[in-house]
Amino acid sequence: QSVVTQPPSLSAAPGQKVTISCSGTSSDIGNNYVAWYQQLPGTAPKLLISENNKRASGIPDRFSGSKSGTSATLGITGLQTGDEADYYCGTWDSNLRAAVFGGGTKLTVL
Amino acid sequence: EVHLGESGGGLVQPGGSLRLSCAASGFTFNFYAMSWVRQAPGKGLEWVAGLSGGGGTTYYTDSVKGRFTISRNNSRNMMYLQMDSLRAEDTAVYYCARVPNAGFFPLFDSWGQGIVVTVST
């Protein structure tokens, strides 16, 4: 069973920078692209980052993605209260032949 | 404008069946792979199933293999999820989602609003 791991929660002050990690293995993140999503309460997820580091259409450059080995990271700079949401990474698991999401990270902007 | 809309959710007893539908508009449907993603109450996202633009290739998460069937009707711009032998743990909001051109699972650039499925007595 694939387990892609994210920290359950993070908090930071407005204006600061935060990084959200996504840790996997060679069968998932290590050999496949990673996507990142933002989910505001009560809404469908929204694509932020595709193919490890490509910002989706309309996403500000405050959001960035990177990948190294079996881990990926979402960075958000200049935090705003509107960034308070759940964030998910997702990738393909080559062994399971299935897509997998991380458990999600709840970001609080205090 | 791309639009995805789910229907067919509701309350069903354990062991029962339900068929979800996803109506697509605003794009050339048969060009795009599609998927179903679910979210149990208070939980994270879980990819359920996906299929290619032509519908000939399908993928499932282990927990639904043999119980759920994903399909599409490209002439009607519709995708379906036939859910049989439903269990309490299948209770969730179910989203349909589109994979962009040259994309991959679970890269989804458009999502429906979601439909609630409740499995309970």
pLDDT in tens, B28-42: 999 999 999 999 999
Nearest CA in chain B to A33: B104
Do the Cβ atoms of A37 and B45 come closer than 8 Å? yes
**Per-residue pLDDT tens digits for B1-23:** 999 999 999 999 999 999 999 99
- Chain A CB contacts of B100 under 8 Å are 50
For the residues of chain A, what is the DSSP string, one character each?
----B--SEEEE-TT--EEEEEE--TTTGGGS-EEEEEE-TTS--EEEEETTTEEPTT--TTEEEEEETTEEEEEE-S--GGG-EEEEEEEEETTTTEEEE---EEEEE-
Q: Mutate one of B22, B34, B63, B105 to test the A interface: name it (highest A CB count within 10 A).
A: B105
Q: Which of A56, A86, A99 sits opposite B109 (nearest CB)?
A: A56
Interface test with A, best of B62, B108, B113 (most A CBs within 10 A): B108
Indicate yes or no: CB of B106 within 8 angstroms of CB of A56: no
* Per-residue model confidence (pLDDT) at position A1: 55
Q: Give the tens place of pLDDT for each residue, A56-98.
A: 999 999 999 999 999 999 999 999 999 999 999 999 999 999 9
Nearest to A11 by CA among A20, A22, A3: A20
Task: Summarize the confidence of residues B35-63 as an average pLDDT.
Answer: 96
